[in-house]
Amino acid sequence: MILLVKINGMDFPLDRKYYIKNGAHIWLKQEKDVIKIGLDAFATQIAGPIDFIYAKKGQVKSNEVIGSFESTKFVSKLHSPINGEIITINTKVVNQPKSISNKPYDSWIVEIKPDNPNINGKYILEEKEKITIWILNEIKRLKNNK
């Protein structure tokens, strides 16, 4: 059973970490020597159904643009949460981007082979309390911007 944080009907599984720099809502999940990344429930709820997703392969640095996604509500860039090499793009998700909206935690976008297997940092959260505070602040920020 996977533990999770549940806030306003959104799930945030605790079997992964979350990249939060500059409003990013990207999850990271380590599987052996690669890190799978995707969009979290907050991003998919705010964006609405994802209509298009693009990602590139190759060497990346943390916070570098690695792709983009579009919905009827907006267009946004995807930023790498870590330094490393994008070795796989999930073509199933690229070809069926609405799958991200339906199951954000089953719909990874890219796999990155990290330069450093330690995926911690100032903008990466994993503790339940920090994730809860972050999401509650994001909800408040969104309400204040309306």
Q: What is the mean pLDDT of residues 128-138?
A: 95
Tell me how far the alpha carbon of residue 65 is from its chain's centroid.
13
The answer to whether residue 134 scores a pLDDT higher than 90 is yes
- State what percent of residues in the chain have pLDDT above 90: 85
Whether the Cβ atoms of residue 77 and residue 65 lie closer than 8 Å to each other? yes
24-33, long-range: CB < 8 A, 24+ apart: 24/79, 24/81, 24/123, 25/138, 26/78, 26/79, 26/81, 27/104, 27/105, 28/81, 28/82, 28/119, 28/124, 29/108, 30/117, 30/119, 33/113, 33/117
Mean pLDDT of the chain: 93
- Look at residue 16 and tell me whether its pLDDT is greater than 70: yes
Bridge partners (DSSP) of residue 89 are 110
Fold of 15-116: OB fold (Dihydrolipoamide Acetyltransferase, E2P) (2.40.50)
Is the pLDDT confidence value at 72 over 70?
A: yes
For the entire predicted model, the pTM comes to 0.93
Q: How many other CB atoms sit within 10 Å of the CB of residue 21?
A: 14
Asked whether residue 120 carries a pLDDT value surpassing 90, the answer given is no
Banded model confidence at residue 1, pLDDT cuts 50, 70, 90 = low
